[in-house]
Structure 1
């Protein structure tokens, strides 16, 4: 539930966290676009999807930021004082769910894309992961906006079912497809799945705060902070690891490309085929 009042420090905390997420998502997206030539063409689709994810998140955080500023106002001189809910305005939590509805399935798509698995395996994994991710977000929203603990529990449990299924696919079924990946890539995939699990666990914890008897302005600020930090980890940090995986796989696939990228061979020399002796 949205609090009636926020202290100056509470308002500043949410304000600064939302600003941090916007900067993180926006400039990660820009970085990913700029480094596309640093990986082989077969892995660029994953980086494009990662950039789209961060771009979508940045856009929605602009909307969240504006909604927050409109929802809480103060009459204090210089804008320093207690912030109360503006008449006729309300903080729109729905922006987060619209963002997650678009970005969570894409996060899974970019992981599958960067691995460049056999098409049959890719198709099988995507048909399992994308619908489950979409269902997880759709089932969570009714509970998020409900003021009833029973309704919140019901939709929370229903949303957890596809969440557990996604974890099963990522940690069990996907592992079977990693045998042909370079050793360093397998290590990064393991870390990536842990990052995804750790960041995604923040969402149900924040979702469950009212059920734990934690309410009021402090709880609301804690929830906004948890969602914001988790979004940075699950999108921006995740995207940078995807980029690292794409680099390693590019190096493993094409040693000449690796030498050029590492500065061991001039680009012009690499393009000229050498005559056999």
Structure 2
């Protein structure tokens, strides 16, 4: 599906979205690292995993960004003309799969870790979810790099099996654990599963484009944009929600901690009111 030529607009679209993902992942990781002391130690494992996920994603998007710039070049002055594939260079889609192979299982670890369940329950959930997530990505890659639609369809079907199993665990087995969570975060944690499902749903749609005879530069650019948006939602936005849940649970667990840390959250409110009154 990689095109041999891109218009200036198509090139700029991919360029800017890749840059957006790098900034989103990198600065989310920095924010979470700075904010670690604002939650109780028992929830810091989840946020540490979120920092690692965003860091891995930022690194791989740097590599994707460099691969994209090296693969498409223009001879026009000022870079306003069309971009064609450079001789001996190719856009490396494999960086995405290496990223997903590492980060997708860790996203599930984040969700389980922030629940702060008994170790035996956490272990049972992770033993089910993590291998299935890794298998889902590993089975999708051979189809992604294959030019044969038959093989693409076969590996797409095979990767759907662990995906369906992950959904089964998230929406049945994990629901039992959500009942033990504080009421203030129960709904948010439940919706996180739908956020994962929504963001992950972008990937199979893009994967199936060649089977639907949707090809060309516009389709490829659309796929890159879709992957970029999905990665921002599934990693950076997801991590910020996990942090919000961890902070609420920290306040719920320790009233003294809530009194100390909660006062920082309220500092801006009186100041804003005083400005409004003036």
Category of TM-score, reference length = shorter chain: over 0.9
Q: Partners in 1 of 2:224 and 2:112 — Cα distance?
A: 30
The residue number in structure 2 matching 1:221 is 221
What are the residue-to-residue correspondences of 1:170-249 with 2, within 5 Å?
A: 170-249=170-249
Tell me the number of residue pairs that the alignment of Structure 1 and Structure 2 aligns: 264
Q: CA deviation at 1:190?
A: 1.4
- Within a 5 Å distance, the mapping from 1:242-257 to structure 2 comes to 242-257=242-257
Confirm or deny that 1:51 pairs with 2:45: no
User: What residue number does 2:116 align with?
Assistant: 116
Check whether the contact 2:71–2:91 (CA below 8 A) recurs between aligned residues.
yes
Distance 1:3 1:226 in 2: 17
| More off after superposition, 253-262 vs 133-142 | 253-262
1:162 is aligned to 162
Give the superposition deviation at 1:32. 0.4
Which consecutive residues of structure 2, in runs of 5 or more, have no partner in the other structure? Answer: 265-278
Shift of 1:178: 1.5
SS at match of 1:84: strand
Contact 2:70/2:86 (<8 A) preserved: yes
Deviations 1:167-207 (CA, angstroms, capped at 9, x unpaired): 11011100011222011211111111111000000000010
SS at 1:190's partner residue?
Answer: helix
Provide Cα deviations, 1:201-258, integer angstroms capped at 9, x if missing partner.
0000010111111100000000001100000000000000000110111011101111
Answer whether contact 2:143 2:155 (CA < 8 A) is retained. yes
Q: Once the 2 structures are TM-superposed, how far is the Cα of residue 39 of structure 1 from its aligned partner? A: 0.2
2:105 paired residue number: 105
**Structure 1 residue 261: Cα displacement:** 1.3
Q: Structure 1 length normalisation: TM-score? A: 0.94
Q: Flag structure 1 segments of 5+ consecutive residues without an equivalent.
A: 265-277
Q: Structure 1 stretches (4+) deviating beyond 6 angstroms?
A: none
Residue number in structure 1 paired with 2:84: 84
Q: Which residue does 1:93 correspond to in 2? A: 93
CA RMSD of aligned residues (A): 0.8
In the TM superposition, 1:22-41 aligns within 5 A as 22-41=22-41
Contact 2:73/2:86 (CA < 8 Å) preserved in 1?
yes
TM-score, scaled to structure 2? 0.94
